[in-house]
Amino acid sequence: MGKEKMAGMEQQQEQEWITGSEVLLRCLLEEGTDCVFGYPGGNVLYIYDAMVDRPDFKHILTRHEQGAIHAADGYARSTGKTGVCIATSGPGATNLITGIATAYMDSVPLVIITGNVSTAVIGTDAFQEADIISMTMPITKHNYFVRDVNDLPRIVHEAFHIASTGRKGPVLIDIPKDVSNHKMLYRPAHELCLRGYGGAPSPNWEAVDQLIQAIAESEKPVIIAGGGVVYSGASSELLAFVDKTRIPVAATLHGLGGFPSGHDWCLGMMGHHGTYAANMAVQQADLIISIGARFDDRVTMKVDGFAPRAKRIAHIDIDPAEIGKNVKTDIACVGDIKAVLAYANAKAKPAQSSLWIEEVQQMRFQYPLRYKDSEAEIKPQYVLEMIHQTTEGQAIITTDVGQHQMWTAQFYKFNHPRSLVTSGGLGTMGFGFPAAIGAQIGNPDRLVISINGDGGMQMCAQELAICAIQNIPVKIVVLNNEVLGMVRQQQELMYERRYSQIELAGSPDFVKLAEAYGVKGLRARTKTEAGRVWREALDTAGPVLVEFVIPREENVYPMVLGGTTLDQLIMGDFE
177 is catalytic: yes
Annotated catalytic residue, options 486, 489, 547, 559: 486
Q: Tell me, letter by letter, the H, E, C secondary structure of 471-515.
A: CCCCEEEEEECCECHHHHHHHHHHCCCCCCCCECCCCCCHHHHHH
Cα–Cα–Cα angle for 545, 549, 555, rounded to 5 degrees: 120
Annotated catalytic residue, options 81, 141, 168, 177: 177
Look at strands 17-19 and 183-185 and give their pairing.
antiparallel
DSSP symbols for 352-421: S-HHHHHHHHHHHHHS-------SSS--HHHHHHHHHHHHTT-SEEEE-SSHHHHHHHHHS---STT-EE
The pLDDT tens digits for 339-359 are 999 999 999 999 999 999 999
* Domains of the chain in sequence order: 17-185 (3.40.50.970), 205-366 (3.40.50.1220), 380-556 (3.40.50.970)
Say whether the peptide bond before residue 558 is cis (omega within 30 degrees of 0).
yes
127 is catalytic: yes
Q: Are the beta carbons of 268 and 251 closer than 8 angstroms?
A: yes
- CA distances to 51, 113, 147, 183, 565 from 22, rounded to whole Å, are 8, 14, 16, 9, 56
Annotated catalytic residue, options 6, 127, 137, 571: 127
DSSP state of 147: -
The pLDDT tens digits for 99-149 are 999 999 999 999 999 999 999 999 999 999 999 999 999 999 999 999 999
Instruction: Give pTM, 2 decimals.
Output: 0.95
Return the closest-CA partner of residue 295 out of 396, 197, 225: 225
Residue 197 CA to residue 146 CA, distance in Å, equals 20
Give bridge partners of residue 549 from the DSSP assignment: 480
pLDDT of 544 reads: 98
For the beta carbon of residue 321, count every other beta carbon within 10 angstroms.
10
Task: Indicate whether 196 pLDDT > 90.
Answer: no
Task: Indicate whether 1 pLDDT > 90.
Answer: no
Residue 550 CA to residue 530 CA, distance in Å, equals 11
Annotated catalytic residue, options 16, 57, 128, 482: 128
Annotated catalytic residue, options 22, 31, 65, 158: 65
553 is catalytic: no
Q: Are the beta carbons of 132 and 104 closer than 8 angstroms?
A: no
The pLDDT tens digits for 222-267 are 999 999 999 999 999 999 999 999 999 999 999 999 999 999 999 9
Q: What type of residue is 395? A: A
Q: Are the beta carbons of 85 and 108 closer than 8 angstroms?
A: no
205: helix, coil or strand? helix
